[in-house]
C-alpha cells in the first residue's frame, strides 16, 4: 500500500460521518483561502495607492514650504501597514500549504 501524505483537511474529513458533503467542504475551505488571499492583494494595492498619494502631497507641501512632518509620519505608518499585509500574505500561504497540502 502506498504511503501518501494527506492534507490536514483530508485528515479532518476522514472521520466525517457525512461523507457526501466532503467535496463541498473541501471546495468551501479552498475558496475561503483564495478569498482571503484576494482580499490581502486588494489591501496591498490600496496601500500602494495611498503611499503614492502621500508622496505626492509631501512633494506639494515641500514646494509650498509647508510642514512635512505629518506626511513623513503617514509614509512610515503606511510602510508599517504594508509590511503587516505582506507578512499576513506569507502566513496565509504557509497555512494554506499546511492545511490543504
Q: What is the pLDDT along the chain (101 residues), one digit of tens a residue?
A: 444 566 777 776 666 556 667 788 889 999 999 999 999 999 999 999 999 999 999 999 999 998 999 999 999 999 999 999 999 999 999 999 988 87
C-alpha cell recorded at residue 52 = 503614492
- At 67, which helix (H) or strand (E)? none
C-alpha cell recorded at residue 56 = 505626492
CB 89 within 8 A of CB 40: yes
Sketch the domain layout of the chain as residue ranges: 18-100
Q: How many helices (H) and strands (E) does the chain have?
A: 3, 0
CA distances from 6 to 22, 77, 91, 100 (A): 14, 41, 21, 8
CA distance 7 to 69: 50
Amino acid at each position: 500500500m502506498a504511503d501518501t501524505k494527506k492534507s490536514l483537511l483530508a485528515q479532518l474529513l476522514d472521520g466525517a460521518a457525512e461523507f457526501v458533503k466532503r467535496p463541498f467542504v473541501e471546495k468551501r475551505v479552498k475558496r475561503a483561502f483564495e478569498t482571503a488571499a484576494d482580499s490581502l492583494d486588494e489591501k496591498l494595492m490600496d496601500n500602494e495607492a495611498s503611499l503614492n498619494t502621500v508622496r505626492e502631497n509631501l512633494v506639494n507641501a515641500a514646494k509650498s514650504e509647508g510642514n512635512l512632518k505629518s506626511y513623513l509620519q503617514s509614509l512610515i505608518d503606511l510602510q508599517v501597514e504594508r509590511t503587516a499585509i505582506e507578512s499576513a500574505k506569507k502566513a496565509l500561504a504557509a497555512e494554506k500549504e499546511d492545511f490543504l497540502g
